[in-house]
A = this chain, B = another copy of it.
Protein backbone atom coordinates (compact mmCIF):
# COMPACT_ATOMS: atom_id res chain seq x y z
CA UNK A 1 0.00 0.00 0.00
CA UNK A 2 1.26 3.48 -0.84
CA UNK A 3 0.64 6.58 1.28
CA UNK A 4 1.00 10.14 0.05
CA UNK A 5 1.31 12.72 2.81
CA UNK A 6 0.97 16.48 2.34
CA UNK A 7 2.26 18.73 5.12
CA UNK A 8 1.40 22.42 4.86
CA UNK A 9 2.05 25.41 7.09
CA UNK A 10 -1.09 26.54 8.91
CA UNK A 11 -2.87 29.49 7.31
CA UNK A 12 -2.07 31.94 10.14
CA UNK A 13 1.64 31.01 10.41
CA UNK A 14 4.27 32.98 8.49
CA UNK A 15 6.02 31.14 5.65
CA UNK A 16 9.44 32.78 5.14
CA UNK A 17 10.46 30.21 2.51
CA UNK A 18 7.31 30.99 0.53
CA UNK A 19 8.00 34.72 0.81
CA UNK A 20 11.57 34.20 -0.43
CA UNK A 21 10.35 32.21 -3.44
CA UNK A 22 7.72 34.86 -4.18
CA UNK A 23 10.42 37.56 -4.08
CA UNK A 24 12.67 35.59 -6.43
CA UNK A 25 9.82 35.00 -8.88
CA UNK A 26 9.04 38.73 -8.91
CA UNK A 27 12.71 39.54 -9.50
CA UNK A 28 12.67 37.11 -12.43
CA UNK A 29 9.69 38.91 -13.98
CA UNK A 30 6.85 36.64 -12.84
CA UNK A 31 4.87 39.59 -11.51
CA UNK A 32 1.52 37.78 -11.61
CA UNK A 33 2.53 35.62 -8.64
CA UNK A 34 0.71 36.47 -5.42
CA UNK A 35 0.98 34.49 -2.22
CA UNK A 36 3.31 31.45 -2.25
CA UNK A 37 3.07 28.73 0.41
CA UNK A 38 5.54 25.88 0.56
CA UNK A 39 4.92 22.51 2.14
CA UNK A 40 6.20 18.96 2.05
CA UNK A 41 5.09 16.06 -0.05
CA UNK A 42 5.98 12.52 1.06
CA UNK A 43 5.49 9.12 -0.51
CA UNK A 44 5.72 6.09 1.81
CA UNK A 45 5.51 2.44 0.88
CA UNK A 46 3.71 0.47 3.57
CA UNK A 47 3.96 -3.28 4.00
CA UNK A 48 0.29 -3.84 4.85
CA UNK A 49 -2.97 -4.44 3.00
CA UNK A 50 -5.28 -3.40 5.82
CA UNK A 51 -6.49 0.08 4.89
CA UNK A 52 -8.02 0.93 8.28
CA UNK A 53 -4.84 -0.11 10.09
CA UNK A 54 -2.68 1.81 7.60
CA UNK A 55 -4.77 4.97 8.15
CA UNK A 56 -4.31 4.73 11.88
CA UNK A 57 -0.56 4.14 11.56
CA UNK A 58 0.00 6.98 9.07
CA UNK A 59 -1.96 9.31 11.35
CA UNK A 60 0.35 8.32 14.24
CA UNK A 61 3.46 8.88 12.07
CA UNK A 62 2.21 12.35 11.09
CA UNK A 63 1.40 13.32 14.67
CA UNK A 64 4.70 12.03 16.05
CA UNK A 65 7.27 12.76 13.34
CA UNK A 66 6.20 13.86 9.87
CA UNK A 67 4.36 17.05 10.80
CA UNK A 68 4.85 19.63 13.54
CA UNK A 69 1.17 19.99 14.40
CA UNK A 70 1.75 23.24 16.29
CA UNK A 71 2.44 25.07 13.03
CA UNK A 72 1.61 22.55 10.32
CA UNK A 73 -1.46 20.76 8.99
CA UNK A 74 -1.30 17.37 7.31
CA UNK A 75 -3.49 15.23 5.13
CA UNK A 76 -2.84 11.91 3.43
CA UNK A 77 -4.14 9.57 0.76
CA UNK A 78 -3.80 5.79 0.61
CA UNK A 79 -3.77 3.72 -2.54
CA UNK A 80 -3.13 0.14 -3.54
Contact = CB atoms under 8 A, between A and B. Distances in A.
A42 B32 contact: no
Copies, count: 2
Contacts of A66: 21
B34 A21 contact: no
Interface of A: 6-8, 18, 21, 24-25, 28, 30, 32-48, 57, 60-61, 64-66
25 contacts: A6-B41, A7-B41, A8-B43, A18-B42, A21-B66, A25-B65, A28-B61, A28-B64, A32-B46, A32-B48, A33-B45, A33-B61, A34-B44, A34-B47, A35-B43, A36-B44, A37-B42, A38-B40, A38-B41, A38-B42, A38-B43, A39-B40, A39-B42, A39-B43, A40-B40
